[in-house]
Structure 1
Amino acid sequence: MRILFDDHIFSIQRHGGVSRCFAEVIAGLQTHPGVEVLLPFRRVINAHLIDQPDLNVCGFLDGRHFPGKRTLLRAHNKRLMRRALRRMSFDVFHPTFYDTGYLDLLEDRPLVVTVHDMAPELMPAAFPHPDMVHPGKRALCEAASAIVAVSQTTKADLVRLYGLDPDRVTVIHHGLSGDAVWAPGQPAGMGLPDRYLLLVGRRDGYKNFAGVAGTLAACLARRPDLHLVCVGGGPLAEEERRPFQEAGCAARLHQHTLAAPDLARAYAHAEAFIYPSLYEGFGLPILESFANGCPAVLSNRSCFPEIAADAALYFDPGTPETLHGALDRLIGDRALRDRLVEAGRRRARDFTWAAAVEKLVALYRRLPVHR
């Protein structure tokens, strides 16, 4: 069975959850008996795909940054993709993002589409132009032979908002990448405080840092040895710092950009991982925190209870003081912390890329194959 993937996410995303997931899936399929992965392109900007062995892809003009670099790369790779599609030497086409430009070339070949979240549809106010975030998503879902949703929550949102037959949507959870787990003895990267709470990823909009910043500042103000470390998301803006300045703890608010091994170490040494987001399609950082023995305090919204189950503490982001209560419980109760750490490690073992690949292969094999 020959599975054709396009370059889209790998030509526009240097790092990120969607590209990481597709890189893991492609690497798993590459070694799966009876499956041949077709990548007609060789140049990408994506570190996750480049890091996978035996895929024969490399960087595009590494070290050179200029306006239009991604546009130039996409234009080149799209020509290669259209050529591959015209040859029809594949059994299933699985695009990595929402490009409708290939639909006219598929003829009767099966199309599989993965939907990672429905954030623009559910929370349009969080986006300047929500209709331009995933402009081809609905059309691809309507044309698809099968749709993959990354959680039951995402499936329910997709079916409800697009009016799709639920039988066309298969849930395949993400797995945990090997470089996301800290191995004791690895050299330490950037120094971190002795005691800190950890927040990972973007903070704007529905990611809801603004909604909990005051609560986190109050928590730090009550504990002079506790810090808050934000990883990723770019430098902290003045309005993000303001609640901590007003609480007299601005010096204990930090932002770092960390490579995967250092991020894993940050999870492993944190007092707690906090995920205040109002919506996620899956929430990979939950698994990363669990696998590194970091107890998680999560928003009780969207897919978080589905992914974390009883291995985390939850709070209501509509009532931010419930976050303070959850952190008080966790920090003050060693037995609770130990229980959550153990439950989190067990829960993380339920999510593997090997299992995701097996489910995806089973889905491919249910589709009509053209010889």
Structure 2
Amino acid sequence: MKILYDHQSFSGARYGGVARYFYDLMHNLKYEQGVEVELALQFSNNDYLKNEDIKKVIPFSFFLGYGRTNMMFSHINRLNSALHLLRNNFDVFHPTYFNDYFFTFLSKKKPFVITHHDVIPEKFSTQYACLDGFDKYHKQKVLEKASKIIAVSENTKQDILEIFKIEPEKVEVIYHSTHFATFKPNDSIKINVPARYLLYVGNRDNYKNFDVYVEAIAPLLKKQDDLHLICAGNGKFTPTEQELFKSLNVEKRIIHHEIENDDVLYQLYNHALAFVYPSLYEGFGIPILEAFACECPVILSNRSCFPEVGQDAAIYFNPIDKEQIAHEVEKVIDNQALRRELIEKGKKRLQDFSPSITASKTLKVYQSIL
């Protein structure tokens, strides 16, 4: 069996949950399941492809500026994907995003599978309609033509069935996983961080609820003068964020930390008092698994898929109740026994989310449509 993946999630992304999902999936299918995989990609700066075990790609510099250069190489990569489709040398096609360019080039005899990570743009259309650049009608066409749809949680499957006109039997739930489950950190790499800190990871915009979270814990940061908040990844703080910190008088207690590599991210989780995920909605929430794998206590919003993923291995709060957020966070960071309990429960819960399980279940989906 040969599976073809396209360029979409890798063209302009150095990091990112979707690209990581597809890289881990291809790696495990190739090296553990013995499946032939092909990534239709020529130009990319994606960090996950650096060791060339899946695909040797050509990195590029942003000589036309970031946006224009990315757009140019994305179009080149799309042409390359189209050529792979026209060659017809594969059994199943798995596009890595929702652009439907492939309709023109994919043989009607060849099945394709699409993974749906979340329905946030559709579920909250008045607030986040343009988050991924594809409207509901566009996605409906792709979902209708797909042989199978992979939803990354039961919560996401129910959202898909609620919002799109799709037959329930067409949607298979396959959880995300994390490569940190088998990751062996490089002990020689050291990070310079405060002794006591809370960790926030990734995007801070829109439904991530970051501003409410900061407002909620600001009194706690001032109350415990050795406590800090570290925000990892997603670029330096914006002027708006800096103004918020200053207005709350916590600007010296909130730190941005770049994620240079997996070793740095692992240590950021591992040394934290707790990882807090205050998002209003997610399709899955891979950082939860990362925290479990790095032996970091987890505190979550009680919305969407979070209780499904975390179960009893996390503490939960109402993400719009600032007093409750502060209360639950303080309860965890001031109770060493509770933190140890959460770490042990997290390690146990992580066993249900291995990359091998994700790959083997996805392979069964591919086999079912041939």
- TM-score tier, shorter chain, comes to over 0.9
Structure 1 unmatched ranges of 5 or more: none
TM-score of the aligned structures, taking structure 2 as reference length: 0.92
CA distance in 2, matches of 1:32, 1:344: 25
* C-alpha distance 297-179 of structure 1, shift in aligned 2 (>3 A): closer
SS of the aligned residue for 2:10 comes to helix
Q: TM-score, with normalisation over the residues of structure 1?
A: 0.92
Extract unaligned runs of 5+ from structure 2: none
Q: 1:69 to 1:355 in 2, by over 3 A?
A: same
Are the counterparts in 2 of residues 180 and 264 from structure 1 also a CA contact under 8 Å?
A: no
State, as a whole percentage, how many aligned pairs show the same letter.
36
Which structure 2 residues correspond to residues 227-306 of structure 1 after superposition, within 5 A? 227-259=228-260, 260-306=262-308
Shift, 1:276, TM fit: 0.6
Deviation readout 1:173-207 (Å, 9 max, x if unpaired): 11111499573733213x11111111111111100
Specify the code of the residue in structure 2 equivalent to 1:249: V
1:11 aligned counterpart, secondary structure: coil
Corresponding residue of 2:37: 37
- Pairing 1:7-22 to 2, within 5 Å after superposition: 7-22=7-22
Cα separation, partners in 2 of 1:84 and 1:239, compared to 1, 3 Å? closer
Distance 2:22 2:352 in 1: 19
Partner of 2:124: 123
**Superposed displacement of residue 26, structure 1:** 1.0
Of 198-207 and 124-133, more deviation after overlay is shown by 124-133
Bigger shift: residues 116-125 or 269-278: 116-125
Distance 1:234 1:9 in 2: 19
Going from structure 1 to structure 2, the CA distance change for 1:292 and 1:99 (only over 3 Å counts) comes to: same
Which secondary structure does the structure 1 equivalent of 2:121 belong to? Answer: helix
The answer to whether the Cα contact below 8 Å between 2:180 and 2:294 also exists between their aligned partners in 1 is no
**Aligned-pair CA distance for 1:328:** 2.0
Residue number in structure 2 paired with 1:55: 54
**Which has the larger displacement, 76-85 or 323-332?**
76-85
- Does the CA-based 8 Å contact 2:200-2:232 persist in structure 1? yes
Q: How does 1:107-146 map onto structure 2 within 5 Å?
A: 107-127=108-128, 129=130, 132-133=133-134, 136-146=138-148
Are 1:343 and 2:345 matched, yes or no?
A: yes
Structure 1's 234 and 125: CA in aligned 2 closer, same or farther, altered over 3 A? farther
Change (3 A) 1:74 1:182: same
Q: For each residue in 1:77-115, what CA deviation from the matched residue of structure 2 results, as whole angstroms up to 9, or x when unmatched?
A: 222222222222211110011121111332121110001
Deviation at 1:245, TM superposition (A): 3.0
CA distance in 2, matches of 1:180, 1:195: 26
1:14-65 Cα offsets, whole Å, 9 max, x none, are 21000011011111122255521123433322111333x4323223325756
Query: What amino acid sits opposite 2:76 in the alignment?
Result: H
Cα deviation, 1:212-233, whole Å, max 9, x if unaligned, reads 2211111101101101111123
Q: What is the count of residue pairs matched by the alignment?
A: 366
For 1:300, the aligned partner's letter is N
